[in-house]
Amino acid sequence: MKDLLVVGGGPSGLATAVYAARAGFDVSVWERHAGVLDKACGEGLMPGAVSALSGIGVDPPGVDLAGIRYVKDARTVAAPFRSGVGRGVRRTALHTALRRAVTAFSVDVEQRSVTELRLEPAGVVVNGTRFRYVVAADGLHSPIRRRLGLDGPPARLRRFGLRRHFRFTPWTSFVEVHWAPEVEAYVTPVAFDLVGVALLTRERGSFDQHFKRLPSLQERFRHAEPAGQVLGAGPLLQHVRARVAGRVLLVGDASGYIDALTGEGIALGVAQARAAVAAIAADDPARYEGDWLRVTRRYRMLTSSLLVGTQLRPLRQLLVPTAQLLPRAFGAVVESLARPA
């Protein structure tokens, strides 16, 4: 019987594989998509995420990020990172670096899908092969989670993400968050000549339709050449009943997701991977549920609070002016997000 199967070859799955290989487990990774994976995300790593990746030997190339700046019309407020430097990293570059780390431990990533999954007292049978444990890191709309009946009730709040890159020289070392009544844009330098723009909105529509709601930002990019295709994701909010079923543990977006507005996804995924492997090493999968709640507590509290506030139009209108009036409070929030999960 093999020790561990990781289903999903994104950042959380690959981080799990690295931790497991370092712990001496015989680990396999199955990913249904071939090649380097991309995703609609903001691509800004907080200092805590940079540190967490460094801890597993991953140092992806990118652009140093000095902090977060909120922008609404002519109002701006900035909070520099105090605990380190962030990094703007193309998702494909991050995936390549993680794959390299996994390969260094002689772990193969196979292009395979799960067609059968059966829980047993001492293991899990997947496609006819028995494993002691399975970690499902198969994304926001996890098929493993659904197969195990761990999906929570559908969310009433539906938020969607869209991302496009532009060939453009970055004008700042800050991640800029531009606010409009129905959309926010996360603008992140990811190379010396490339800027990513990720939009979050409650309404479906094309990137260009939503981008028009941010006229000053759209004007800045008016002569910039789009690079690559637009990628989308959503609905973002995913309720999950539990993170453990027998010897199957959910990690990353598969384990539940609130929203992308705090940019903590990678740091959380690495922290969850570490906690899952620790529970497997102790042969105590049930403990992962409590550990998951612990490592995600700050994200859940802060993101839920911000999300409620930003969905109420009067509060959304006051967000940037309030941050201007209370720069220390704004800085404290940013610094909380910047710390390791």
298 part of a folded domain: yes
80 part of a folded domain: no
Q: Which domain covers residue 149, as residue numbers?
A: 2-63+88-153+238-311
CA distance 9 to 114: 13
Report helix angle 287-311 to 265-281, nearest 10.
160
CA distance 303 to 200: 14
Are 72 and 119 in contact by the 8 Å Cβ rule? The answer is no
Scan for tokens 């799955």, then name that residue: 13
Are 291 and 244 in contact by the 8 Å Cβ rule? The answer is no
Strands (E), the chain: 2-7, 27-30, 44-45, 63-65, 67-72, 75-80, 86-88, 109-110, 117-120, 123-126, 129-136, 160-167, 174-179, 183-191, 194-201, 225-233, 244-245, 248-250
Q: What is the residue type of 51?
A: S
147 part of a folded domain: yes
CA distance 12 to 341: 14
Q: Supply angle C-alpha 334, 158, 188, rounded to 5.
A: 40
CATH number at residue 54: 3.50.50.60
242 part of a folded domain: yes
Which residues, 6+ apart, have CB-to-CB distance to 160 below 8 Å? 200, 201, 202, 203, 204, 232, 233, 234, 235, 236
Residue (of 187, 153, 157) closest to 172 by Cα position: 187
Which residues, 6+ apart, have CB-to-CB distance to 320 below 8 Å? 70, 71, 72, 75, 76, 77, 179
Q: Supply angle C-alpha 80, 216, 90, rounded to 5.
A: 55
Please tell me whether the peptide bond between 47 and the residue prior to it is cis, using omega within 30 degrees of 0.
no
Using CA atoms, how far residue 139 sits from 136, 164, 167, 180, in Å, is 8, 20, 29, 29
38 part of a folded domain: yes
Query: Bridge-partner residues for 77, per DSSP?
Result: 70
Which residues, 6+ apart, have CB-to-CB distance to 4 below 8 Å? 20, 25, 26, 27, 28, 131, 132, 133, 134, 135, 280
Query: Could you tell me the sign of the dihedral formed by the alpha carbons of 33, 48, 192, 67, in that order?
Result: positive
7 part of a folded domain: yes
CA distance 197 to 213: 14
Report helix angle 11-22 to 91-104, nearest 10.
20
- Count how many domains the chain has: 1
User: What pTM does this model have?
Assistant: 0.94
329 part of a folded domain: no
pLDDT confidence of residue 87? 96
pLDDT confidence of residue 320? 80
* Average pLDDT by stretches of 10, the chain with 341 residues: 94 97 96 90 91 94 94 87 92 96 93 96 95 96 96 87 95 93 93 95 92 93 92 90 97 91 86 97 97 91 76 71 76 75 69
pLDDT confidence of residue 318? 67
Q: Supply angle C-alpha 182, 184, 185, rounded to 5.
A: 145
